[in-house]
Structure 1
Amino acid sequence: MVEKRRHSWMEIRDSIRSMILNSTYGPGDKLPRDEEFALQFGCARSTVHRAMRDLAQSGVVERKRRGGTTVRRDPVTRATLDIPITRLEVERRGSQYRHRLLRKSVQPTPPAIMANFALSEPRDMLRVEALHLADNRPYIFEDRWICLETVPEIADVDLTRENANEWLVRNRPYSRCDLRLYARKATPSDQDVLQSHDGDALFVMERTTWIGAAPISSLCAVAHPGYQLFTQG
């Protein structure tokens, strides 16, 4: 007899949120009752209830006693950032994209990453250092920390073949994003990785994402000299 795998409330929450993001349920739509979702996912009603509570707290849905659950018409996450997929960014420029995994390891979070996630104590996370290339030249260097409790599936992803940036965008949508953009001068390590020169101004993007209260990823990305970020709203 094969035992059915138990779904965590976070998996249920992410599945329901994905249905909202892909417009299966649009703004103002009434969602199925918790009992119906529990039957659909093969889990306990309490698991769905916990997932729905988190979605409500993050401003994605609105729950009313005897009124059911609806997708918010003006969700808290309405001012979202479309995280760019670097591969597509490179290919749109007419360049050939490559990705190189430099290092991958599970480490305790250092103080800077703890501060990004507002953690009170260190937590083991997956650190991924990778280089995106355009026409075999350095394009963007990524130093990324991924929470294995929120994204356990990443442990089974071959990051030499699939880059973490694209995998996370496609598989782990966020409900909150902190973003910081600035420029700084190239350091010796930047010169080694990005083939920059002393005194070059480098574009730096620091981005930390959550789904509800659960941390997803904290990234520091450093782009090659002359990089420009273009976005449309």
Structure 2
Amino acid sequence: MSAQKNMGFQDIRDEVLNRIQTRIWPQGSLLPTELELAAEFGCARATVNRALRELADEGIITRRRKGGTRVVTTPVKQAKLPITVVRQTIEDMNAEYRYALVSRNMISCPPWLQAKLGLQEGAQVLHLNCMHHADNRPFQFEERWINTDTVPHVVDQDFLTIGPNEWLLSEIPFSDAEIAFSAVPATGQLQEFLSVPPGTPLFQLERITWFQNKPVTFVRMTFHQGYQMRTKY
């Protein structure tokens, strides 16, 4: 194959994908190493790594330490679920966004959350309850715990005018995330804050994010009645 010079990671990604789709590299085949691809494409190894990482995230190739990179035998499409800012979501609906902090408390991490985040007994977390409205109608109730060991400067943030999700995205990156979806009945504060009859089924999303293997936050977001989440793949 002839050398191609000065290619960016998107160009490399597209070229690798093209070779897979045209069976130059068929299913199950071993790809050249990152060093070999970097030499061919005239770029840094990190550029190749980023291109291959995107293809791995899409389920097109698998990457194994000491085992190399292979084209998967049965490619799997993977839906992408970006971590979005609720303000932007509401404004994209052409609705007026309003945020309200319900409560803010520094607490010792409860045992159930210690198990989820892998924290030691006595670890401190910032516990927040927040409401997000669209055109003055309840849109999302947010209950969040932030690990002050990973994000120590969070203790100086009052969250009176900015939501914790928006603040965290601007202050600290995340390297990994785990997401769970549920349907839950409206009881207690969910019934009150989302203004629905008791027992109303509601869509709930729970998410944990980490930065360099350190837990950043656990959040439980419950949406208004009839909410739908969409994604593309």
- 1:144-187, Cα deviation, whole Å (9 max, x unpaired): 01011211222233411111111112222211111000101111
Residue in 1 that maps onto 2:232: 232
Amino acid at match of 1:138: P
Provide the C-alpha distance between the structure 2 equivalents of 1:82 and 1:69, rounded to a whole number of angstroms.
27
Provide the C-alpha distance between the structure 2 equivalents of 1:138 and 1:81, rounded to a whole number of angstroms.
23
Q: Would you say the 8 A contact 2:186–2:198 is kept in 1?
A: yes
TM-score (norm 2): 0.66
Please report how far the alpha carbon of residue 120 of structure 1 lies from its aligned counterpart in structure 2 after TM superposition. 4.4
Please report how far the alpha carbon of residue 119 of structure 1 lies from its aligned counterpart in structure 2 after TM superposition. 2.6
Provide the C-alpha distance between the structure 1 equivalents of 2:46 and 2:181, rounded to a whole number of angstroms.
35
Residue in 2 that maps onto 1:206: 206
Residue in 1 that maps onto 2:180: 180
Map 1:122-133 onto structure 2 (within 5 A): 122-133=122-133
Gapped regions of structure 1 (runs ≥ 5): 1-24, 28-61, 63-67
Residue in 1 that maps onto 2:161: 161
Residue in 1 that maps onto 2:222: 222
Q: Would you say the 8 A contact 2:203–2:224 is kept in 1?
A: yes
- 1:69-122, Cα deviation, whole Å (9 max, x unpaired): 946334499467420110011111111001000111110111221122123424
Query: Is the deviation greater in 158-167 or in 77-86?
Result: 77-86
Provide the C-alpha distance between the structure 1 equivalents of 2:46 and 2:122, rounded to a whole number of angstroms.
37
TM-score (norm 1): 0.66
The CA RMSD measured in Å over matched residues stands at: 2.7
Q: Would you say the 8 A contact 1:143–1:220 is kept in 2?
A: yes
Provide the C-alpha distance between the structure 2 equivalents of 1:130 and 1:176, rounded to a whole number of angstroms.
24
Provide the C-alpha distance between the structure 2 equivalents of 1:146 and 1:75, rounded to a whole number of angstroms.
29
SS where residue 183 of structure 2 aligns? Answer: strand
Following TM superposition, the consecutive aligned residue runs of length 4 or more in structure 1 with deviations greater than 6 angstroms are none
Tell whether 2:99 aligns with 1:99: yes
SS where residue 139 of structure 2 aligns? Answer: strand
Provide the C-alpha distance between the structure 2 equivalents of 1:163 and 1:190, rounded to a whole number of angstroms.
18
Gapped regions of structure 2 (runs ≥ 5): 1-7, 11-33, 35-43, 59-79
